[in-house]
Each structure stands twice: as structure tokens, then as C-alpha cells.
Chains A and B, each alone.
Chain A
């Protein structure tokens, strides 16, 4: 292997007669004047000048090549291998042409490849094409993980990719980009497993109900199993957790209502006027309701008449109250806006948001657990706005208090993780959750609050936030507009961008500010599996089988069944199991079983007989 052709300070071509090059492979150029220069293969080619690509048909056919071989000349030996190497650090002078090239030993590349230790960082996968260097790797980096290759579990052969979580203090926030099926969600799962291993307080917004870690992958070797059962908690919005109404500020309640559906200025004004600090849901709701009812009467005279016409004290007091509210607020709160607020408030309440609080989340974070918050995308948008504001400010208050030397309750640093992040922080229009995510992205670093945002549409993610993602995991991406965004937002090269649509599932470019270059890695096999793993088509098949067996079980002791006797059999079944079949359906099911070979049908002149 040696340097050939014209060289520059950044890039050189290398040629070899007997060794093919792999893309992303690391090689050392032994420059006689500048010493060892390390570089990465960015393009690999082979060429045989006797087998040129010819469009005019002159190709050496195999019989000729075989004949030549038989008389002693193997044309394949004339194949040469060419690689383009990009130096990791620019050289002072152009590389000397003719310099030798060699494979580096592990210790020479260790600092380039590994920035953390397996105990302190996130062991996310392997750095691809590093197996040659991994041969003399330290023991502590060996056998850390398994990868999936072509559906099979493989032992680790390459250098592990360990994400230095501590570097997030300097280079905060991670973006995970990739189309569906690219391994994005599964990469996110691996990241979360590692966060659990390190007991880092984490909140996961999970609109897909997939971040459950209780099921250990069947494929994992027994001795390697990590149990995550005690390290995470799934909480559903409105069921396990919710918003404590009494804690809400004016802004909170406006955010919540806005998330439910956008507020007009007038509505926002209504909230400002009518909402009182420490209002309970009921007190606020009643105030709104009474004002609306009073406004429905139409004028003060009518309300006065209602008071006079009241048949009971209670009713009178009620209308008295309405009158007061009416006098105070009617001028400033238009009826339609009041109705709008009532409608939105109702909607949130129906989803159960106000019935619980976020105590379980806070407790979990204190214990360094991973808290998975599940709900529909819309409800998560509403809830996360409140939750993140709340948690972030708790953390912020604590840190600020430390700085000001006053006292405040301890609140731990934490990481917020979400899939489909473009729903929470969309580009181009405002959404309540966006403002808090933006705030965390911009100043969370100071307070120890970090984001891991996954999305299949980086183009749709708010640009300010994207710009703050210092580490990006880029999985297979096919959409041209997304590739364009990725090119703009990362240090990924033109060649790498061209490879994006063809990456294998689980292969990923990691663009890390702390590394200063892009790493080509493969995510390790996850220890746990998603609950949505079953193929829906398998599910259909299994379900049909299950149904057949169930039906067979019910009728097995009624066999043989005569065609003229269906009604009695059905009656028997009904009394035994409580299941009723119409005659038509019952016959259809029997015929179906016959077709599948589970029953036999015998034809007689009068009716069919179904038997085993």
C-alpha cells in the first residue's frame, strides 16, 4: 500500500496490488518527512486496465481469460485497488507521494475512537470496519456487546463506540434522524438502556407506546441479560399522572388550553381576568360557567328578574352570584371567548389530565429512573409543556439558588427524550411545547437539562433547536429534503450524504462535535425488545389459527354433527358456553374447518355429516 498520484494536505489516493480498501477504514500514512499521518478511507475502488468498461462490446470474455490463465497469465492479478484517504488532521505540507501506508495498531487510534470508558459512557455499538485494529485492543473494551448482522447475533469484533455522556456538559443535546425502518427507534432504545445502566434521570415522551423495557430479547445469551424492570416506569397521562390544577400559573393554564387547540387573544384575555391563583379546577370552571350563563340571559334586567323569580334561596343566591360576576367581567370578557375557554377546559378534563399530578414522575427522577410518559401525541404535547416547564424550572431554581447562596430543594439534572420530535417542536409555527424545548436547548446546558430528540423529518424540526443538537445520529434517510437538511446541519461529507439512502438498518453516521468528525457505526443489539415486535401479518395468521382451535374445542364433543341438526347443537353450545352462532355462520365455520383439513365432511342424500 502506498500513496499514489497528486496529493494535497487534506486528501491523498493510495493504491495497492493485493489489498482491497474498505470505506471508513483507518490507515496510517508513513510520510518520511512529516511522520505518521492518520486518515480515513472515504472512497474505495478497484480497477483492472485489461478489463475496461466498454460500451462497444469489446470485453475480454471468460473463455479468453481462462485460456490466458491456462498458458500462465492470470489477468485478475492485474487488478489494482485504489482508495481515497482523508486525513483527520490537515498536514503541514502535501503528503509525499510514494509514502508507505499501513494499518494502525489499537493504541495509535484509541484516542480517536474511544473518548470514554465502558462504565462511564454509553456503549452504543461498534465503529464499523475497525476489526483489524481491534485485534490488540485492551481487554476492557472487548466483549461488551453483540450486534445483529443478517438476522444473526454476532460477537463484537470491532472497536466499540462509546458515547461520552460527560461531554454533553460541553456539547449538549443529541439528535437522532432517520426514516422509518432505519433503526432509529431501536437506536433510541439502546441509548435509553445505557442511560438506565448509568442511573441517569430521564423522561421519555412516548407517543408510540413502545418504550417498554420489561421484555428481554429472546436472542440474548442468558448470562448477558441486564434486567431493567426496576429502572424504568411507564406512566400514562390522565391515568397515572396528570396536572395538579392548583399549581398552575396563568401562563401554565394558557399553555395547556392553547395546546388543546389554539387560543385567540380574546380568550387569552379571558383567562388572565378570570383565573385566580390557587383556583381549583372547579372554582375556575364554575366562574366561567356562571359568567356564560349570565351572559346567555342577555342583559342585567333579565338577571335581576331571574333573582326575583327564584323559587328557592339556593337559586336566588346562585343568580345573585352570577349577577356579581356579570357586572365585574361582562365588559371585558366576550361571551364567545368564554364559551371557547369552557370548551377547551372541558376537553382537557375529559382526558383526565386534571385528575392526577406529577409526583410519581418527580419521585422517579429523584431515584435516577427512566420515566416513560405515554399518551397520544396531542395529549403528550399538552402535558409535556406543563411537565417540562415545571421540572426545568425546579432544576433551574435549585441551581440559581446555589449560585445566589440561598436555599432551594434539590432537584437532579435530567435528560428529556422524545421520538417524533417534530411534533413537539415544529418548524414554522408555534406550539406550546416548542417554547420550553427551545429554552432547554438554548440554556439547558447550564442547568444540566439535556435533550435527545428523534425524528424522521429533521426538515420539520425547529431550526433553532436543530442548531443546538451537538451530536447527531443519522440513520438511513431517503428524502432529498431531509438529506439536504442533514448536510446543512452536520459535518457529514458529500460522499457520506450520498450513502445515506443506502445505509443498512442499524448503521449510523454519528456526527459528534466533541470528536470533530463523523463516525460510521453500527448500533448494538438491544437487550430488550419493543412490544410492537410481532409482525401484523403473523398476528393475523396466528389469530385465525387460535380461533379455529377454539371453535374446534367447542364442537369436538358434539361430533359427528348432522346437517339437519344444527339448531340443537347450537342450542347446546349456547347453554354450555354462552356463545350463540347463527345457523349460516355455524355452517360456514364448519366448512372452513373442512377446507383446512381439520374436519371431514360426508355427503348423504339428505344432509352433510361433519366428523373428525
Chain B
């Protein structure tokens, strides 16, 4: 058993109270009210059907589905003494034995771009480089997969807008390639971070709240299993960047996932929603199994990265730069 510090317990109780206070409006919201609001202002709520076997085999004949995901892991301590490795994977449902891996690494100790003063290289830049690296290898893996397998559709793990922001050049290349070859490109967002509905609620003065609520909070438990909401272009900022999006609930779990598609391919939005729906276990977390499989294969476990570094870095370098005090503690 743990010895619990009384003060810590009180702090947690306080947190609970604060959140309850802040969200008491949300928690007391009438479900039907929000649903009506969504239908009127965001988009129609539609019931999804799973794809039939015939439709699925049509996809399979059309080149199968390419799943793309990336993973990163780091060894070391605080900035700048760490090294981070990235791995991207594109895996086709049809060509199961030819996964496409892309890898990269990053450490603030070594910069590929022109030499800058390390001190000047602030943490913020550091963060953006890291995000960029991860996005870039994912897009690169997708690009190679698209060229090599010519799939029917590509499912990226995460919002497409991320690639647009973090790896613009490569992204445009991928986008162009897909549009030319008529390959459908979608992103599945496990954790939606938008507040589209919340902002609309404020704008339309439907609710007397000051800060916009997140979609995640609002939609929790609101949609029924198999329901989706396509978001009308005029209410989402994403439209400007060239995406269409929707929310849907794909499993019995009450949380909702999001999906992006290129606006030029928005005619496939519902088909792709049905595909994602078909691939998601009913009792699961709402994530398509195919994404979970790709995620599982791309993952870089702690043991693996440690083993790699221990095997292929000189011991002196490893100890000097990347072993933190924290790694050595045993208690």
C-alpha cells in the first residue's frame, strides 16, 4: 500500500471540484438540445452501415488499403542530452510481406541544418524539428507506398492537417500524387482536439459560456454507435487548408473519433467512414484494427531502442551524452 499524503488527496479533491464547477453547464446539457444544434449548424447526423463483403473485395481488388503510422522514442535526459529515433511504416493489406519502413533520428547535439549556436536553438525550435521529422517520415512512407502499391485508399494515423502544417512540401507531393492517381487519402484522428461545435455554440449564443468547449467533451456519449456527423465546409477552418472532416462513433465506447479527407475527394467521405467503421471492433476503443496493427508494428519499444544504442554506439558516447541519472536509479 501507498502512504498517501493528506495534502495531495485534498488537492485532487479540489481539482474535482474545480472541473465540476467549470463544466457544470456542459454536464447538465440536454443531449437532445446539442443533437438538434449539431443537425442545424454543423451537419446531419447519419447512421452508418458496415461495408458488405463485396464492397470490401472491390477495395481489395482496387489495390487494398495502405495503413500509415509513425512512432518515436527517446533515450536520455533533459535537453540537449537525448536522442530521439523515428520510424514510419506504410503497410498494405494486400502486400502483407512488403512493409515500407522509413527511419530518422534527432538529437539537439547535432544539427543537420547550418550550424547555429546551441543556446540560440531554443526549445521551441527543438520541438518543431521533432514534430517535423516524425510527420515527414510518415509522409515519405506513405508516398513510397502509394508509388509502389497503388492502393485503393491510404489511411494515415492522425489528422491530415498535421502533415500540412509540419511537413508542407512532402505533403503537397503526396497530395498531388494521390489526386492524380485517384487514390483516396484519409486521416483517422483517435483523439480529437478541435472545438468546432463549442465555438459555434458561443457564436450563435446558444449557451452562456465564455470559453469554447472541446468537441471531445461535447460529443462524448452524444452519438450512437455507428453514427457520423459530416462537418459542413463553412464551419470548419480545415476547409481553407483543403480538407473535409467528420466525427463518428465507431465502437460501443462513448468517445468519438474524427476523420479527414482531401476536399477534392470529399465524395468518398461516407464510403471511407463506412470502411473505418467496418474495420473497428465493436467492443474496442474506436480505433480501426488495421491502424492498431500498423501501430503495433511500427512501435519502437524502450528495450529495442536501448538495445540498439547499446549495441551500436560507443560506450563512451552513450554514457557521456545519453545516460541520465534517472536511468541509473534502482530504488
Q: Which residues of A contact B (CB under 8 A)?
A: 49-50, 57-61, 63-68, 70-73, 75, 77
On whether A67 and B293 interact (CB within 8 A), knowing A58-B285, A72-B94, A73-B96, the answer reads no
Q: Are A72 and B64 in contact (CB under 8 A)?
A: yes
Q: Are B56 and A70 in contact (CB under 8 A)?
A: yes
Q: Are A58 and B279 in contact (CB under 8 A)?
A: no
B273: min CB distance to chain A, Å: 14
B184: min CB distance to chain A, Å: 13
Question: Complex: how many Å from CA A65 to CA B292?
Answer: 13
B46 at the interface (CB under 8 A from A): no
Kindly list chain B residues whose C-beta atoms are within 8 Å of the C-beta of A70: 53, 56-57, 59-60
Kindly list chain B residues whose C-beta atoms are within 8 Å of the C-beta of A73: 64, 93-94, 96, 290, 293
Kindly list chain A residues whose C-beta atoms are within 8 Å of the C-beta of B280: 64
Q: Are A68 and B50 in contact (CB under 8 A)?
A: no
B71: min CB distance to chain A, Å: 16
On whether A61 and B50 interact (CB within 8 A), knowing A49-B296, A70-B56, the answer reads no
Q: Are A77 and B289 in contact (CB under 8 A)?
A: no
Q: List 16 A-B contacts (CB under 8 A).
A: A49-B296, A58-B283, A61-B281, A61-B282, A63-B50, A63-B278, A63-B282, A64-B280, A71-B57, A71-B60, A71-B65, A72-B60, A72-B65, A72-B94, A73-B94, A73-B293
Query: Which residue of chain B has the shortest Cβ distance to A57 in the bound complex?
Result: B283
B interface bracket (residues with beta carbon within 8 Å of A): 20 to 34
B284 at the interface (CB under 8 A from A): yes
Interface hub of A50, A59, A60, A77 (most chain B Cβ within 10 A):
A60
Question: Complex: how many Å from CA A61 to CA B292?
Answer: 14
Query: Which residue of chain A has the shortest Cβ distance to B61 in the bound complex?
Result: A72
Kindly list chain A residues whose C-beta atoms are within 8 Å of the C-beta of B93: 68, 71-73
Give 7 new A-B contacts, CB below 8 A, not counting A57-B283, A67-B278, A73-B290.
A50-B293, A59-B281, A63-B282, A64-B278, A72-B64, A72-B65, A75-B289
B196 at the interface (CB under 8 A from A): no
A242: min CB distance to chain B, Å: 76
Interface hub of A68, A70, A72 (most chain B Cβ within 10 A):
A72
B137: min CB distance to chain A, Å: 23
Interface hub of A58, A60, A67, A70 (most chain B Cβ within 10 A):
A67
Question: Complex: how many Å from CA A58 to CA B252?
Answer: 10
Query: Which residue of chain B has the shortest Cβ distance to A56 in the bound complex?
Result: B283
A560: min CB distance to chain B, Å: 72
Q: Are A58 and B281 in contact (CB under 8 A)?
A: yes
Question: Complex: how many Å from CA A66 to CA B60?
Answer: 13
Question: Complex: how many Å from CA A64 to CA B288?
Answer: 9
Q: Are A50 and B283 in contact (CB under 8 A)?
A: no
B142: min CB distance to chain A, Å: 17
**Nearest 9 pairs of A and B residues by beta carbon:** A70-B56, A73-B93, A72-B94, A72-B93, A72-B60, A57-B283, A67-B278, A72-B64, A71-B60
Query: Which residue of chain A has the shortest Cβ distance to B278 in the bound complex?
Result: A67
Kindly list chain B residues whose C-beta atoms are within 8 Å of the C-beta of A67: 50-51, 53, 56, 278-279
Kindly list chain A residues whose C-beta atoms are within 8 Å of the C-beta of B59: 70-71
Query: Which residue of chain A has the shortest Cβ distance to B56 in the bound complex?
Result: A70
A73: min CB distance to chain B, Å: 4
B238: min CB distance to chain A, Å: 27
Kindly list chain B residues whose C-beta atoms are within 8 Å of the C-beta of A64: 278-282, 289
Bitwise interface map of B from 301 to 320 toward A, beta carbon under 8 Å scored 1, else 0? 00000000000000000000
Q: Are B60 and A59 in contact (CB under 8 A)?
A: no
A512: min CB distance to chain B, Å: 44
Kindly list chain B residues whose C-beta atoms are within 8 Å of the C-beta of A60: 281, 284, 289
Bitwise interface map of B from 47 to 71 toward A, beta carbon under 8 Å scored 1, else 0? 0001101001101100011000000
A220: min CB distance to chain B, Å: 52
Q: Are A77 and B65 in contact (CB under 8 A)?
A: no
Question: Complex: how many Å from CA A66 to CA B285?
Answer: 19
Q: Are A68 and B57 in contact (CB under 8 A)?
A: no
Kindly list chain A residues whose C-beta atoms are within 8 Å of the C-beta of B281: 58-61, 64
Kindly list chain B residues whose C-beta atoms are within 8 Å of the C-beta of A61: 281-283
A42: min CB distance to chain B, Å: 27
8 Å CB interface, B54-92 against A: 56-57, 59-60, 64-65, 92
B132: min CB distance to chain A, Å: 31
B291: min CB distance to chain A, Å: 11
Q: Are A77 and B96 in contact (CB under 8 A)?
A: yes
Question: Complex: how many Å from CA A72 to CA B53?
Answer: 11
Kindly list chain A residues whose C-beta atoms are within 8 Å of the C-beta of B56: 67, 70-71
Query: Which residue of chain A has the shortest Cβ distance to B96 in the bound complex?
Result: A73
A49: min CB distance to chain B, Å: 7
Kindly list chain A residues whose C-beta atoms are within 8 Å of the C-beta of B92: 72
Question: Complex: how many Å from CA A67 to CA B64?
Answer: 12
A67: min CB distance to chain B, Å: 4
CB < 8 Å: which of A49, A50, A66, A71 contacts B64?
Answer: A71
A489: min CB distance to chain B, Å: 43
Query: Which residue of chain B has the shortest Cβ distance to A73 in the bound complex?
Result: B93
A97: min CB distance to chain B, Å: 14
Interface hub of A63, A68, A71 (most chain B Cβ within 10 A):
A71
A57: min CB distance to chain B, Å: 4
Question: Complex: how many Å from CA A63 to CA B289?
Answer: 11
Kindly list chain B residues whose C-beta atoms are within 8 Å of the C-beta of A66: 53
Interface hub of A58, A61, A66, A77 (most chain B Cβ within 10 A):
A58
Question: Complex: how many Å from CA A70 to CA B279?
Answer: 11
Bitwise interface map of B from 19 to 53 toward A, beta carbon under 8 Å scored 1, else 0? 00000000000000000000000000000001101
Kindly list chain A residues whose C-beta atoms are within 8 Å of the C-beta of B94: 71-73
Question: Complex: how many Å from CA A65 to CA B94?
Answer: 14
Query: Which residue of chain B has the shortest Cβ distance to A66 in the bound complex?
Result: B53
Question: Complex: how many Å from CA A396 to CA B92?
Answer: 81
A54: min CB distance to chain B, Å: 9
Query: Which residue of chain A has the shortest Cβ distance to B92 in the bound complex?
Result: A72
Question: Complex: how many Å from CA A328 to CA B232?
Answer: 128
